[in-house]
Amino acid sequence: MRKVAIVGAGQSRYGEFPDKSIKELFFEAYRDMASSVDRNFDPKRIGAAYVGNLGCGGFQLGNLSALVSEFVGLPYIHTMRIENACASGGYALATAAMDVMAGVHDVVLAGGVEKMTDVSGSKGKYWLGVSGDTEYERLAGTTFSGLYALLAQRHMHEFGTKREHLSMVAVKNHKNGALNPKAQFQRETTLEKAMAAPMVAAPLNLFDCCSTTDGASAVLVCSAEAAKSFTDTPIWIEGFGTSSDYLAIHDRAETVALEGTRRAADRAYKMASKGPQDIELAEVHDCFTIAELLAYEDLGFCKKGEAGRYIEEGHPEIGGDRPVNASGGLKAKGHPIGSTGTGQAYEMFHQLRGSVEKPGRQVKDAEVGLLHNVGGSGGTVAVTILGR
């Protein structure tokens, strides 16, 4: 298998943009990606494009990848829309990596785009709900936040995880997001304010839930040989793993872990010949604060049941021994579903190259980072390990 590198990465601003179309958002990310390539960027070299998209609200469900590809100047290529709920972008990146590893194409675009704020709240909830088991979960009355609330309740019951631990995740990620010029929410919050927010699905309140977001991201993936013409400092895809799980949480063996994360991480660690101890920073899928706590444990950063203490001791803070979600995460940066996975790659590309926009978010001298992108309540997961 060929070595695979990322040589460019771009992202639009995340937020609410009623005046921008899906095509315009993707072009913004594509243009940002092109400008990040050190030299010799030529769109004619791109042989394929894999675009993550859930199609929230039902907009342009058919031929979306062709639509946005031709709009940025890439007609007549192999293009494919990747849909695995909130993990669509992570799977787009994995698919691009497999394409290049197999030798089908030398240069490939992986990206994602979503326009979520143009529809009503009730319609948005409907589309988010189909990421779980429609027949036995959504039609029975559960919501996306309700499913994660059940996971949080069980984790608190079994391990004594506190409500404060959930809010600590929100405070940390808003602190980081306040320094990210492309984040949806660029403001800090306090522990007191986060804990006092209106309840959404007990024990999760408003500050425990990520937002609905418009946005796009794009990364340029290529072979090691092709990378030489683009840059002297590529970021290597050292390993990746994907896994599915039972969609309905009542079918799973346990509800205090995401087995899909464990299996995807194991595969990524094995491919990269690394373990959790080698990861210096991570972007994890904090669609809800409990999801970040579960990720600490499922990725092997701490033992099962110790996530509360892990954040309490400051390990995932910038300046801690393994910063998590220096971008602000989904909680503060935003969660434009199809764009989230490649948006994580955008953040890690600049972290590992030392080119983060604001110095306060830059993790110094990091060489190995991990991306963790979850679909729905854990039905699909993509884990990717990047190295400088």
What lies within 8 Å, CB to CB, of 271 at 6+ separation is: 238, 239, 240, 241, 385
Backbone angles phi, psi at 255, to 5 degrees: -120, 20
- What's the rounded Cα separation, in Å, for the pair 129 and 140? 11
Sign of CA dihedral 33, 210, 62, 383: positive
Residue of 75, 375, 372 whose CA lies nearest to 385: 372
Q: What does each C-alpha distance from 211 to 92, 128, 348, 356, 362 come to in angstroms?
A: 22, 12, 21, 23, 24
**In the annotation, is 335 catalytic?**
yes
Q: Which helix (H) or strand (E) holds 267?
A: helix 259-272
- What's the rounded Cα separation, in Å, for the pair 280 and 255? 28
Q: Is 161 strand, coil or helix?
A: coil
Q: Is 212 strand, coil or helix?
A: coil
- Selecting among 56, 86, 287, 302, the annotated active-site residue is 86
Q: Which helix (H) or strand (E) holds 226?
A: helix 224-230
- Selecting among 155, 165, 285, 335, the annotated active-site residue is 335
The answer to whether 9 and 219 have CB atoms below 8 angstroms apart is yes
Provide the strand spans (E) within the chain.
Answer: 4-11, 48-52, 78-82, 107-114, 199-201, 204-205, 215-223, 235-244, 281-283, 368-375, 380-387
Backbone angles phi, psi at 80, to 5 degrees: -150, 135
Catalytic residues: 86, 335
